[in-house]
Structure 1
Amino acid sequence: EFHPRVLETRRRETMGGGHNKKLIFVYGTLKRNQPNHFLLEDLISKNDAVFVGQRTTRLQYPLVTGLYGIPYLINQSGSGKRIRGELYSVSNRGLARLDELEGIRAEHYERLPIEVVEEEEESNGVVSAEAYFAHRRFGERLWEKKGMCGMCEFGENDGVLYVRPKDRPRFSSVLDEIEDFVSSTTD
């Protein structure tokens, strides 16, 4: 019988999708007990992802919810709060599926570098990872439109407000609706 850390190390070493693995920090609907976690569960079952642990951003970032309860991390370090989330090691195959869910090609989100630490640590154990940020076309304007008031964690109560794509109106895209929202002059 092996110690849990030995088992975790072996699991990481045998993870599918090639040797190039990325550390991905998730803060919203991909976290455990959230609506889109099923994707990470599927990736884990296929050895394309491994849960590393709970992490917090080293720097402060804005985290807001937009239309349909969709969470957005805004690439504006120094504003907002330190964000709590989860860190996963993901294979190239798994990363392609996450990028598809997050709408990278559609410019809904963009995957960018971020530094995270174990809960409550300030400087020890800083890890470089990547996270899905609101695309630069609308991120900062969304933060301003939300009154520059964010949260430190997307919790289970926030996840209840999330509307799955299949349940959203078909007449327009989320990106069109975001653009309308951030461009409107009324609150």
Structure 2
Amino acid sequence: SPLLPEEIFSSVGRMARVFVYGTLKKGQPNYQHMINGTHGIAKFQGRGHTMEKYPLVISGKYNIPFLLNIPGTGHHVPGEIYFVDDQMLQFLDEFESCPDMYQRTPVRIVVDEWEAVNSIMECFVYSTTTYQPEWRNLPYYDNYDSLGNHGLRYVARESRD
């Protein structure tokens, strides 16, 4: 059973909440980084969706999902909530090319599955304000799946030219 927040804080020190909506979700191409202990601790806590709507687009020649930091536009984007330690947060910052490509910002997440359902909590999310202006005209997805019927399969880093 998931640990309660106070149990996590006391057992592993200061933890941050991170909400993932793209390739780091379970079953997606980069999920292994969330469970690979060498990067630090990431404890899955539940599922939720953004309280505000955001545009979720897939862009670039590697078909990377981006949450554009334009609150009020797009969809209530679903994802997964993790408690992460400082080491994992540092890894995620580097992995997400933060702050150049993505910026880690606090976003209100509505909890869908957890002990405290229907509560709202603040989680860090990797969204972007440094996107190309034309990305605003891309289709907005209501949920990310690399193998979705959009046909825009994510290209893993090791496969990029």
Specify the TM-score bucket, using the shorter chain as the normaliser.
Answer: 0.7 to 0.9
Quick one: which of 34, 47, 53 aligns to 2:46?
A: 53
1:166 aligns with 2:158: yes
Quick one: which of 138, 145, 154 aligns to 2:144?
A: 154
Report the Cα distance in structure 1 between the residues aligned to 2:81 and 2:154, rounded to whole angstroms.
Answer: 21
Q: Which has the larger radius of gyration?
A: 1
Quick one: which of 11, 34, 39 aligns to 2:33?
A: 39
Ranked by relative contact order (alpha carbons within 8 Å, sequence separation 6 or more), the top structure is: 2
Higher helix fraction (1 or 2): 1
Quick one: which of 20, 24, 27 aligns to 1:26?
A: 20
* 2:109 alignment counterpart: 116
Contact persistence 1:109–1:132 (CA under 8 A): yes
Contact persistence 1:62–1:143 (CA under 8 A): no
**Structure 1 unmatched ranges of 5 or more:** 170-187
**Structure 2 unmatched ranges of 5 or more:** none
Task: State the TM-score, normalized to the length of structure 2.
Answer: 0.84
Contact persistence 2:110–2:120 (CA under 8 A): yes
CA gap 1:160/1:53 in 2 versus in 1, 3 angstroms = farther
CA gap 1:142/1:110 in 2 versus in 1, 3 angstroms = farther
Contact persistence 1:54–1:119 (CA under 8 A): yes
User: Which aligned segments of 4 or more residues in structure 1 are displaced greater than 3 angstroms?
Assistant: none
* 1:185 alignment counterpart: none
Report the Cα distance in structure 1 between the residues aligned to 2:119 and 2:134, rounded to whole angstroms.
Answer: 32
Give secondary structure in 1 for the equivalent of 2:87. helix
* CA shift digits 1:124-179 (9 cap, x unpaired): 41101110012x2225x143241xx301110252497010122112xxxxxxxxxx
Aligned residue type for 1:128: E
1:138 aligns with 2:128: no
Give secondary structure in 1 for the equivalent of 2:34. helix
Quick one: which of 53, 78, 83 aligns to 1:89?
A: 83
* CA shift digits 1:45-89 (9 cap, x unpaired): 876111011111111000000121200001001000000000001
Aligned residue type for 2:50: T
Q: CA RMSD in A?
A: 2.5
* 1:173 alignment counterpart: none
